[in-house]
Structure 1
Amino acid sequence: MELSIVELATVAPGTSEKEGLADALETARHADALGFHRIWFAEHHLTPMGASHHPELLMAAAATQTSGIRVGSGAVLLNHYSPFKIAEMFKQLEALFPGRVDLGMGRATAGKTIDLALRQDRQNPAQPDHPQQVAEVLAWLYGTFPAGHAFAGNPMMPSVPEVPQTWLLGSSVGGSNLAAGLGIGYTFSGFINPAGAVEAMRNYRERFQPKGHRLASPRSILAVNITVADTHDEARRLVGSARAFTKRVRAGDFSALVPSPDDAAGELPPTEKERPTSIVDGEWPMFVAGNPTEVRATLDQMVSESRADELMVYNLIADPGDRRRSHELLAEMFELAPRSAPAPALSKTHA
């Protein structure tokens, strides 16, 4: 089983976005050395809790500081951008780092301020057609505009025949239908909608249609919020940060930071602290947490039920040291083959 990471460049309590970015690059180096398959960077705007606003920048930085791990976007929010711009940007990244670039495409409505700030035409805003936008990105990358199309006959970077791997990120059956119909990879956000994972991922596999030089067969990733520690009690303590942050956001606090485990413990009611972190009566948890044995059992069941080809680790562990320890335990758990030691950190991060 291949393991990957989606990185938010989480800003630890008492630190700044500069340190969050440095921690994200250190996580990339650490994951590369451990043998993780890929690291994707999120796109979030006006969110103090995470410093990953433009995944392309972190992808380029991480790729220069690692040797074998794939780098990608998880996800670039296509509804805000020109398909041509995205295709060309990721094609150039592929030229810079051949065989290591992933284009993960998604969409999000992040509130009136962000949507307006990212919009070019504020007087006559168009409603993006997501399926059409994804299809246009693919047409640019693979040179498949039909004859007579306004963009036909304009190959993108013809001296670079390679293209990045293309993935659609979603959390519903609708997204799985789109990915399957386009013949590209599909990543399900199990940390958003765990109850919908099995249906959507099986639907993708059943409806997959090979398209030319894209994937010959379905390829799926299951992204799960995972917290592993040496003991059950320590994992339950650490996952409190994710629970409390989620509670803050659901209460409308969009300036919320990820709290320390101690602060989280003071915020969460007993009923929230006691919620399952493993599968109970067939119901998947929002947060998977525990010692290695407990977490492995839960993840094995999730993979079996969803038929995922790969697992992607998402978490909101407040302290970067605890976060990387969780990654180490996962690497040991799934017997990842280590790569060579990572390059030394370019700058000192906080303790």
Structure 2
Amino acid sequence: MKLSVLDQSPIRKGSTAREALQETVALAKWTEELGYTRFWVAEHHNVTSLAGTTPEILIAHLAGQTQSIRVGSGGVMLPHYSALKVAENFRMLETLFPGRIDLGMGRAPGGDRVTASLLNPTNTFNEQDLVQQLFDLQNYLNDRYAPGSVQAKVRAMPIPPSVPEQWLLSSSGHSGVLAAHFGMGFSFAHFINPHGGPEAVANYRARFQPSENLEQPQANVAFFVFCSNDPETVHRQQAMIDYRFLQYETRGRVDPFDYDDIKTVDYSPAEEARIQHNRQRMVMGNAEEVKQQLEKYADRYEVDEVMLVNVASELDERLESYRLLAEAFELKSVVV
């Protein structure tokens, strides 16, 4: 099974955005060395605990700091941008790093709706607008437009030697239908929604229509994952991610914190119920436990690639988590 990474560039308590991005670079280099398949970075806006706002810029830096691992967006939030500009950004990346760029796309705001309205004042999150954007984007990436159309007068530049892989990201089944229609890869965000994923992936496969960029359906699934062979470390990270989720759900944001800040927090019965629900979005434990759970999920989803989202509070613990899983899955590095 292939393992890949989705990194959100979390900002630790007492740290800075610059340090968080430096940690993302360190993780990309480390996971490449360990044999991970791809390294995606997220897009979030007006979120003080996450440093990743512009994946296309961070991708360029990461690809320049690595040699072979695929680097991409997890994902670009299409409603904020024009299809032409997204095509230009990723054609530039593909020109600089041919054969290594993934264009992962989503429709979520990546933050709150007020911020989304400022990023694109004309954005209505209309379903048909998204369909049109995907149609336009594929035309720009593949240089195909009907003669006489307005778009036919414009080419997305530069023209790269290859086309970046295109993935549609979603926590529901509907985007899987769109990914199938446009012949794109499909990534299901189990770390956002733990229900309906296997059915969404199966429906994507059943409806898949080959495109010039992808002949066969290609799917993966993403989980929050933390691995340590020290039970106390697992307990501490579990407590912190439980608290993180509740803060997002009740306050709409998470301010940086550490374990000492939350270790004595008492939760209400309703909060305890949310904690138990949210634990379905994650896989945590020692190396063997995590390996077994991920293999079970991979069987349920019928995928051969799992993406790991790790927001552990300490960089060394994230590095060790990725190392333990690379060892457990016997990943092979291709770095010379």
- Partner secondary structure for residue 163 of structure 1: coil
Query: Secondary structure of 1:311's match?
Result: strand
Mark the runs of 5 or more structure 2 residues left unpaired by the alignment: none
Answer yes or no: is the 8 Å Cα contact 1:227–1:317 preserved in 2: yes
Give the structure 1 partner of residue 264 of structure 2: 266
Q: Could you state the TM-score of these two structures normalised by the residue count of structure 2?
A: 0.92
Decide whether aligned partners of structure 1 residues 275 and 243 sit closer, same or farther in structure 2, where only a CA change above 3 A counts.
closer
For the structure 1 residues 301 and 270, does the alpha-carbon distance in structure 2 shift closer, same or farther, using more than 3 Å as the test?
farther
Q: Distance in 2 between matches of 1:15 and 1:305?
A: 39
Change (3 A) 1:17 1:233: same
CA distance in 2 between counterparts of 1:174 and 1:45 reads 24
Which aligned pairs between 1:1-351 and structure 2 lie closer than 5 A? 1-109=1-109, 110-120=111-121, 127-128=125-126, 129-152=129-152, 154-157=154-157, 159-211=159-211, 213-254=212-253, 256-267=254-265, 269=267, 272=272, 285-340=280-335
Verify the 8 A CA contact 2:92 2:158 in the aligned structure 1.
Answer: no
Give 1:270 shift.
9.0
Cα 1:301–1:116, aligned 2, differ >3 Å: closer, same or farther?
Answer: same
What RMSD over aligned residues (CA atoms) do the two structures have, in Å? Answer: 2.3
Deviations 1:1-51 (A, max 9, x none): 111111111101111111111111111111111111111110011111110
Residues 95 and 159 of structure 2 are in contact (CA less than 8 Å); yes or no, is this contact kept in structure 1?
no
Aligned amino acid, residue 266 of structure 1: T
Q: Which runs of 5+ in 1 are unaligned?
A: 278-282, 342-351
| Aligned-pair CA distance for 1:197 | 1.1
Task: Name the SS of the counterpart of 1:22 in structure 2.
Answer: helix
Q: SS in structure 1 opposite 2:47?
A: coil
Q: Distance in 2 between matches of 1:263 and 1:338?
A: 39
Identity of aligned residues (%): 35
Q: Is the 8 A contact 1:2 1:311 kept in 2?
A: yes
Distance 1:126 1:239 in 2: 37
Q: Which amino acid aligns with 2:308?
A: V
Which letter maps to 2:117?
L
Q: Compared with structure 1, are the counterparts of its residues 151 and 275 closer, same or farther at alpha carbon in structure 2 (3 Å cutoff)?
A: closer
What letter corresponds to residue 305 of structure 1 in structure 2? Answer: R
Instruction: Tell me if the contact between 1:8 and 1:51 (Cα under 8 Å) persists in the aligned partners.
Output: yes
Q: CA deviation at 1:266?
A: 2.4
The amino acid that maps onto 2:240 is S
Q: Distance in 2 between matches of 1:166 and 1:2?
A: 18
Any idea what the Cα deviations from partners look like across 1:248-280, whole Å, max 9, x if unmatched? 1111242x2353234333236397499669xxx
Q: Distance in 2 between matches of 1:317 and 1:111?
A: 24
- Structure whose residues are more often helix by fraction: 2
- Structure-2 change in CA distance of 1:268 and 1:335 (3 Å): farther
Work out the CA distance in 2 between the residues paired with 1:14 and 1:315.
19
Aligned length: 331
Check the 8 A contact 2:98/2:161 in 1, yes or no: no
CA offset digits 1:159-180 (Å, max 9, x no partner): 5241110000001110110101
Separation (CA, whole Å) in 2 of partners of 1:260 and 1:135: 45
Q: 1:158 to 1:65 in 2, by over 3 A?
A: closer
Secondary structure at the counterpart of residue 196 of structure 2: helix
SS of the aligned residue for 2:118 comes to helix
Question: Per-residue deviation at 1:111?
Answer: 2.3
**Cα deviation 1:102-158 (Å, max 9, x = unaligned):** 00010223324312321255xxx6555112111211111012323332212644347
AA aligned to 2:326 is A
CA–CA distance in structure 2, aligned partners of residues 318 and 96 of structure 1: 33
Give the match's secondary structure for 1:267. Answer: coil
| 1:325 counterpart letter in structure 2 | E
Return the offset for 1:339.
4.0
Residue 194 of structure 1 aligns to a residue whose secondary structure is coil
Q: Could you tell me whether the CA contact under 8 Å between 2:242 and 2:275 is conserved in 1? A: no
Distance 1:274 1:76, change over 3 A: closer
* Distance in 2 between residues matched to 1:284 and 1:49, nearest whole Å: 21
CA–CA distance in structure 2, aligned partners of residues 257 and 243 of structure 1? 14
Using a 3 Å threshold, how does the CA distance of structure 1 residues 270 and 32 change in structure 2: closer, same or farther?
A: farther
